[in-house]
Structure 1
Amino acid sequence: MLPSVVRRWLNRPKKSDPRPLAKFFYIDEEVNAIVHELQCLDVRKDPQNYLVLLSQLHNSQERMLTLLEQILEHCVPTKRRQRDYHLKFPDDLVNDTMTTHLLFAAELIIGGTYVEVEEADGVLLRPLAQKLLRSLEDLRRILREQSLEDPGIYPEAAHEALLEYDNLCAEFELRYMSLVVSVKTPEEIYEQQEIAVLFCETVSRALQQGYLTQEMIDDCEPELMISIPRLAIISGLLIFPDGPLNLQKRPEEMCELFSPFHGLLKKIRELLCILTEKELQSLERALCSASSEDPSVHLSSCLPPPMDSNSLHLDSQTQHPETATPTAQSTTDMELTQETSELSNMAKCDPDFSSQSKSIGLETNSTNQDIKLHHAAKPLDILRNMHMRYSLRRSRFHDVRSRYRSDSDMLHRLFVCIAGVADQLQTNFASDLRVILKTVFEAVSSRQQQDKERTAEDASRLPDCSVCQNLKQQASRAPLVTPEWVPDSASTQCMSCCAPFTLLRRRHHCRSCGKIFCSRCSGYSSLLPHIDNAQPVRVCSHCYHVHCSPQDRVTEDTSPHLS
């Protein structure tokens, strides 16, 4: 019997083998070799070489952990520990190298070195760090042994070791990063989600109005990073005043993103309330324009009608509807119709006015007939008070317009203020806005999201396997046919481990899928239902573990010699 070392050397996978376990074997060997050199090196005699080896070890460990991540996604994609706590971390810390950093931190804590955490916190973390590194060593041993047995399959022991490592890594990551960086509180996360909802509603409205297109959302065009926050300021002040831009709260009570602009947002809201529908649309189109496009084109295209001085005063017939003639009553109805749109803007901007208008039955979305009925049903003193207050507000809004040289000048000032606030958000809270906009793009994208919860069988399927492609026929109980064999001349290497065929390494066909393999990758046998033969036949590793039923498989002890 051959010694264990020789047998392992003969069974080691080929370097050309593309399977993850085969790659892991050589990366693991590289890490072990560098660690051995570091242990044998005298740091005081050769410090330069020590630094070089340390850098090589860091790079090798990073590649090994990246490969472990791929194996986790391949074997146990639906059983992994959830990383929802990443929302609490700063966006620039959540990257592909975080696991490597955590492994190095765990090694330092076990060695008694505390660089980023306090000593007392490090002592409390030491047991968890020891469990993490022990789990990683066990996982490396199991995967290495499996790569020597068969790099194409993952036994149950490998699945359990992968899940244990994943759970410990997630637990250590959360506890360690909570000590190193300032994580978000649940209140801050809730505020961020509120802003994401506001942005989603803003995008939905912009799509309806034609400011944005679905193709722009699906392609995540860069100009949306500017347009969406700008439009969200208008939506938050006019359409959703109880959301993140609720100016009824004190600045310290608002969300962190908008609290520094509390005073400026009040002035912006005051101007937005006196805009006509056409002016508002022109302003929003200008805010959506690309950075290279002149926004004044959209603003100058808006020609709002001049304010009628007679409309600032109420008709005497309106104040005394009980004495109005039919002609005067008709005039009153026309005035009420013209006032409805301005009442709508007032109600959006001023909750007090909105509540009072509802208390007397004059809601902003009522039709003309509803308004006439409500006027006829309510007492005269309440109507007088409401109209008097409305008249005062219209006068105040007219005074606001009179502060500017023209309506175009007022719109330009509004554009500059809104764009300034949005651009300042991009500067002060770039990380938070990236997370919010990423959530928005995922929520409003029209592309069909593929099912992320893959089963273990789906993860093991191969796109070029004829049996995998015919699973639908098998599910529908269609008659199975013998697969067409790949011609010998079609492949010069094994279709699994990519080992080149030679005089000693012969070609072997899998009777299940018809592909060509070397003897090691097709060293299994099984009974196949589409072959009228009571004897087991040669199958590849993939078909043996994925497609062959357990009762048809033949173990190595009872397997006959296959040609």
Structure 2
Amino acid sequence: MLPAVVRRWLNRPKKSDPRLLAKFFYIDEEVSSVVHELQCLDVRKDTQNYLVLLSQLHNGQERMLAILEQILEHCVSSKRRQRDYHVKFPDDSVNNAMTTHLLFAAELLVGGTYVEVEESDGVLLRPLAQELVQSLDCLRRVLREQSLEDPGIYPETTHKALLQYDNLCAEFELRYMSLVVTIKTPEEIYKQQQVAVLFCETVSRALQRGYLTQEMIDDCEPELMISIPRLAIISGLLIFPDGPLNLEREPEEMCELFSPFYGLLIKIRELLCVLTESELFSLERALCSSSEDASTNLSSCVPTSPDSSSPGYSDQSTKLSSSTEQTLQNASWTNYPPSNTGACNSTVSSAYYTCAQSAINTPQCIVAVDRDYVRSQDVKLQNGTRRPTDVLRSLHVRCSIRESRLSNVRSRYRSDSDMLHRLFVCIAGVADQLQTNFASDLRVILKTVFEAVSSRQQADTQKLPGDSLRLPDCSACRKEQEAAPTGNLYLEPPEWVPDSASTQCTSCCAPFTLLRRRHHCRSCGKIFCSRCSGYTTFLPHVQNPQPVRVCSHCYHVHCSPHIRHNAETEIPT
């Protein structure tokens, strides 16, 4: 027993050692000590101390699992099991403390306690919980032994233990969370992805029209959380009517984000279809503004005539009223039976957007839509092919107000600015309500949008298996990366760090004293203590028949296995 205790005392890492295994060693000792005290404590006699120890155990386990997560990312990041199933969970349930909660739940299931799950489900999940707890105990033992041997390396046995624990943790997380929280169905996930696509198209259109700037997207400006959903409502109703804001579906078939506002969205669409290009431009500009009085300045923002230099305007940006009147004059409405115009105002035929798409694909005619059935009317288009928004608005106006003019719709309001103000309030109200009712879902969607539209995308570089073990400040690592494209090996000796430039070990940060001497690694030139440079090997740039001293990192990363020398060989000074 004495040799093992002496070995543990001599080989234990320093508390100042910044390496992950050294940190794990002391956190693991703290957790083991608290568990031992809890086992020896009588809960009935000392309840207060029991609660204090329980809190210490929880905090220690949380820090230990955080270190384990860092070790997993450092060693086996490319081999870890994917967590794509997180998209099925509510956003507020996926957090940094989830692993700690899962470990506590697994320990309860192993002990036969069922708190958050039904007993029948807990019995089926208990074997997996036992495997997870056993795997964690095995991993702790392996990492503890490795920290006593060399905290700077992770051998193959450590990799296997890490991967086994990661797979069991992912499997238990999926099965346990499926019993605790409401899992999204594939249809719900698909509808949410459709909303994300709509938001991306909205941002792209806003960038083209000058409402937003790329710098705002890259910096994730807070006002974008408000302006993007507002603009998406307009884009979903006018530009992309077959997307998640397709009002021809039943409310139950729409995405749950917009289905509560089905009736209000129909009225918003009806008003949007009678706007001119200049009014639509001023409305969208006001919706992008973060000032509180943006809606009151809508009338002053409406230009009297479209400016050709303004973003989003073109020579074809004419008022919709004139184009609609010309279309109504050319269309023959005598073949249609009389129908209830009021009902047509509230909803549009189910074939409405299908006919719009047909009109886009067939520019020679516009398909006239009726509430009961569809008939084609050959109408010559002015200025060649019309844009989708023009076709959509013409069809909607023809279907909803029939032979009446746009003035009949505008006559409900005192002025054009009053109508724009009503539209602003309705659209802003729907967007703000989305932020309140579906904050977590909207946060996930906007995060996806920022990642997709940001110009600061990281280049997809091919990562080699040994890249996770490379150090950015290691001269040997830099030389290998520089020599990799050409295939030439650097045979020049490294530049040694002066003794006066280092007061502590580069690896474990132990201060140098009269007994703890400085040693240079012949591979990278840095200064280490004797323990962190306790390996010898042959190097191509050193013309010496005897093996030379190298640090732990260079020995396991840069030295070939067939030229490694036994570490117990006498180390030259």
When normalised by structure 2's length, the TM-score is 0.85
Is the alpha carbon distance of 1:562 and 1:233 closer, same or farther for their aligned partners in structure 2, counting shifts above 3 Å? same
User: In structure 1, what is the equivalent of residue 312 of structure 2?
Assistant: none
Structure 2 CA distance for aligned equivalents of residues 239 and 307 of structure 1? 17
Q: Who is 1:436 aligned against?
A: 445
Once the two structures are TM-superposed, the CA of residue 204 in structure 1 deviates from its matched residue by 0.4
Which residue of 492, 502, 508 corresponds with 1:491? Answer: 502
Q: Is the 8 A contact 1:495 1:517 kept in 2?
A: yes
* Aligned equivalents of 2:76, 2:290: Cα separation in 1: 44
Rounded Cα–Cα distance in structure 2 between residues aligned with 1:495 and 1:316: 82
1:373-412 C-alpha deviation (Å, 9 max, x unpaired):
xxxxxxxxxxxxx9x9689646253311111111111111
For 1:452-490, what per-residue CA distance to the aligned partner results, in whole angstroms no more than 9, with x for missing partners? 874442111112211112223332216431111111111
Deviating above 3 A after TM superposition, structure 1's stretches of 4 or more consecutive aligned residues are 303-320, 355-360, 363-372, 388-394, 450-456
In the alignment, which residue of structure 1 is the partner of 2:435? 426
Measure how far apart 1:292 and its partner are: 4.6
Residue 448 of structure 1 and its aligned partner are, at CA, apart by: 2.6
Task: Give the equivalent residue in structure 1 for 2:144.
Answer: 144
Aligned CA distance change for structure 1 residues 225 and 270 (closer, same or farther; 3 Å) = same
Report how far residue 370 of structure 1 moved. Answer: 4.4
2:364 paired residue number: 361
User: Structure 1's 428 and 315: CA in aligned 2 closer, same or farther, altered over 3 A?
Assistant: closer
Moved more, 362-371 or 61-70: 362-371
- Residues 244-263 of structure 1 mapped to structure 2, 5 A cutoff: 244-263=244-263
Q: Distance in 2 between matches of 1:150 and 1:314?
A: 84
What's 1:351 paired with? 353
Q: Tell me the distance in 2 between the aligned counterparts of 1:428 and 1:52.
A: 38
Q: What is residue 37 of structure 1 aligned with on the other side?
A: 37
2:465 maps to 1:462? no
Matches within 5 A, 1:336-485: 350-351=352-353, 354=356, 357=359, 361-362=364-365, 368=382, 370=384, 393=402, 395-449=404-458, 451=460, 454-475=463-484, 476=486, 477=488, 479-485=490-496
Higher helix proportion: 1
Asked if the contact 1:313/1:391 (under 8 Å) is kept, the reply is no
Pairing 1:188-267 to 2, within 5 Å after superposition: 188-267=188-267
Name the structure 1 match of 2:372. Answer: none
1:72 maps to 2:82: no
SS at match of 1:538: strand
Aligned equivalents of 1:246, 1:391: Cα separation in 2: 17
What amino acid does structure 1 have at the position aligned with 2:570?
A: P
Residues 193-252 of structure 1: per-residue CA shift (max 9 Å, x gap): 000000000000000000000111111111101000000000000010000000001111
How much does 1:535 deviate? 1.8
- Per-residue CA deviations over 1:108-156 (Å, capped at 9, x if unaligned) read 1111111111111111110000000000000000000000000000010
Q: Following the alignment from structure 2 to structure 1, what is the Cα–Cα distance between the partners of residues 223 and 111?
A: 49
Partner of 2:314: none
Give the Cα separation in 2 of the matches to 1:207 and 1:307.
23
How much has 1:295 moved relative to structure 2? 3.5
Distance 2:159 2:328 in 1: 85
1:95-114 → structure 2 map (5 Å cutoff): 95-114=95-114
Secondary structure of the structure 2 residue equivalent to 1:554: coil
- Aligned partner of 2:184 in structure 1 is 184
- Which residue matches 1:546? 557
Cα displacement (A) at 1:171: 0.6
Q: Distance in 1 between matches of 2:122 and 2:327?
A: 78
Name the counterpart of 1:508: 519
> Which residue of structure 1 lines up, in the alignment, with residue 343 of structure 2?
none
Unpaired runs of 5+ residues, structure 1, are 321-345, 373-385
Match of 1:234, SS? helix
> Relative to structure 1, is the Cα distance of residues 316 and 165 closer, same or farther in structure 2, using a 3 angstrom cutoff?
closer
**Cα shift at 1:561:** 2.8
* Aligned CA distance change for structure 1 residues 360 and 293 (closer, same or farther; 3 Å): closer
1:547 corresponds to which letter in structure 2? H
Equivalent position amino acid for 1:354 in 2: A
Contact 2:363/2:385 (<8 A) preserved: no
Map Cα deviations across residues 302-321 of structure 1 (whole Å, 9 max, x no partner). Answer: 1568999998866999689x
Superposition map of 1:119-130 within 5 A: 119-130=119-130
Alpha-carbon contact 1:283-1:299 (below 8 Å) kept = no
Shift of 1:362: 2.5
- Matched residues in 1 for 2:237 and 2:102: separation? 44
Q: Distance in 1 between matches of 2:74 and 2:322?
A: 75
> Does the 8 A contact of 1:218 with 1:447 survive in 2?
yes
Determine if contact 1:289/1:295 at 8 Å carries over to the other structure: no
Distance across 2 between alignment mates of 1:193 and 1:111: 41
Which digits, 9 at most, give the CA deviation of each residue in 1:155-175, with x for residues without a partner?
100000000000000110111
**Shift in CA distance, 389/317, structure 1 to aligned 2, threshold 3 Å:** closer
The 3-state SS of whatever aligns with 1:441 is helix
The one-letter amino acid of 1:445's match is S
Equivalents in 2 of 1:155, 1:452: separation in Å? 26
Question: CA offset at residue 353 of structure 1?
Answer: 5.6
Amino acid at match of 2:469: S
Q: State the alpha-carbon separation in 2 of the partners of residues 308 and 538 from structure 1.
A: 83
**Closer/same/farther in 2, CA of residues 159 and 452 from structure 1, 3 Å limit:** farther
Q: What residue in structure 1 maps to residue 571 of structure 2?
A: 561
Deviation at 1:551, TM superposition (A): 1.7
Q: How far apart, in 2, do the equivalents of 1:226 and 1:521 lie?
A: 54
Segments of 5+ residues of structure 2 without an aligned counterpart are 306-317, 333-347, 368-378, 387-394
Query: Cα distance, 1:186 vs. partner?
Result: 0.8
Q: Is contact 1:106–1:133 with CA below 8 Å preserved after alignment? A: yes
8 Å contact kept, 1:304–1:407: no
Residue 371 of structure 1 deviates from its aligned partner by 7.5
What's the CA shift string for 1:498-552, capped at 9, x where partnerless? 1111111111000111110000000001111111222210000010011111122
Find the residue that maps to 2:561 and give its secondary structure: coil
Structure 1 match to 2:342:
none
8 A contact 2:364–2:380 mirrored in 1: no
Matched residues in 2 for 1:547 and 1:172: separation? Answer: 38
CA shift in 2, pair 1:493/1:238, >3 Å = same
* Closer/same/farther in 2, CA of residues 479 and 141 from structure 1, 3 Å limit: closer
Residue 311 of structure 2 aligns with which residue? none
Separation in 2, partners of 1:62, 1:315: 69
Q: Aligned partners of 1:200 and 1:310: how far apart in 2?
A: 33
Q: Distance in 2 between matches of 1:472 and 1:312?
A: 66
SS at match of 1:525: strand
**Which whole-Å CA distance do the structure 1 matches of 2:562 and 2:354 have between them?**
76
Deviates more, 1:472-481 or 1:270-279: 472-481
Once the two structures are superposed, the pairs formed by residues 16-55 of structure 1 within 5 Å of their partners are 16-55=16-55
Residues 370 and 390 (structure 1), Cα distance of their counterparts in 2 relative to 1, 3 Å cut: farther
Residues 327-370 of structure 1, C-alpha deviations (whole Å, 9 max, x = no match)? xxxxxxxxxxxxxxxxxxx99x9436636756682369997464
Q: 1:521 to 1:285 in 2, by over 3 A?
A: same
Answering whether residue 12 of structure 2 is matched by residue 12 of structure 1, we say yes
Contact kept in structure 2, 1:362 and 1:371, CA below 8 Å: no
Q: CA deviation at 1:296?
A: 2.9
Equivalent residue, structure 1, for 2:313: none
Shift of residue 555, structure 1, vs aligned partner = 1.4
* Percentage of matched positions with identical amino acids: 73
CA contact (8 A) 2:287 2:294 kept: no
- Structure 1 residues 147, 456: CA separation in 2 closer, same or farther (over 3 Å shift)? farther
Q: Give the count of matched residue pairs.
A: 523
Contact residue 321 and residue 406 of structure 2 kept, 8 A? no
